[in-house]
Structure formats: C-alpha cells, structure tokens
Amino acid sequence: QVQLVESGGGLVQAGGSLRLSCAASGRTFSIYGMGWFRQAPGKEREFVVAIKKSGGNTYYADSVKGRFTISGDNAKNTVYLQMNSLKPEDTAVYYCAADASPTFRYGNPHSYDYWGQGTQVTVSS
C-alpha cells in the first residue's frame, strides 16, 4: 500500500501562486508515476499534470501549460505542483495520485492505484 498526503492548498487572488506538495509513504518503490487531478463542484475529475518516476518525464493538460510545473524529489518521495498565474477557473479540489502500473497511462484517473485526500484551491477574481 501507498499513502499520499497533500498539503499547500488555500485561497489566493487571481494572478497569484501556490505550491502543492504530495508526500508518499509505504511501498513507494512500486510507484511508476504520480499525477495531480482536480475536481470542481459539479464537474468530473480532470487530469492536470503528471510525472514519471524514472526519467522524470512530465505531462501537462493544455489548460495549465506554461503556468503549472510539476517536480519530484525521489529521495523524499514527494512531488510538488507549482501553480503560477492562477485563474478563478483553477478553483477545485486538487488530488495527488500514484500509479503502480508500468504502462502509466498518466491522463486516465482510472489507471491510478492510490489517491490522497485532496486539498482545496480557491482562486478569487
């Protein structure tokens, strides 16, 4: 089992920045990739960004390219999501997820095996 704990959410004005963290514990050696998803009220959970553990390849949703950056610290089993130039439409609960499959279909939430509890990000206009 893998446990994921997110932190760093909060309230920020449009144009501001936030950094989310996701610390993994447990059988972290089984993780092939990690991702961030978000879910706004009344909407489906959507892919935001992901990183492959081996090699560090990163993948971004078009809506966040150029504004969000994912990075990882394998020694700390932690991934970070730096969010800049935030917009009100970025408001959502952000979830960290870990994929234990070598195929790592990073954009598909059903491919992920472990999820954090979520952290609220609210961007005011």
Q: How many CB atoms lie under 10 A from the CB of residue 122? A: 15
pLDDT digits (tens, 9 = 90+) for 37-81: 999 999 999 999 999 988 889 999 999 999 999 999 989 999 999
pLDDT digits (tens, 9 = 90+) for 80-122: 999 999 999 999 999 999 999 888 899 999 999 999 999 999 9
Going by C-alpha positions, the residue among 103, 91, 107 that lies closest to residue 40 is 91
> Helix (H, G, I), strand (E, B), or coil: what is residue 25?
strand
> Tokens 């963290």, residue?
21
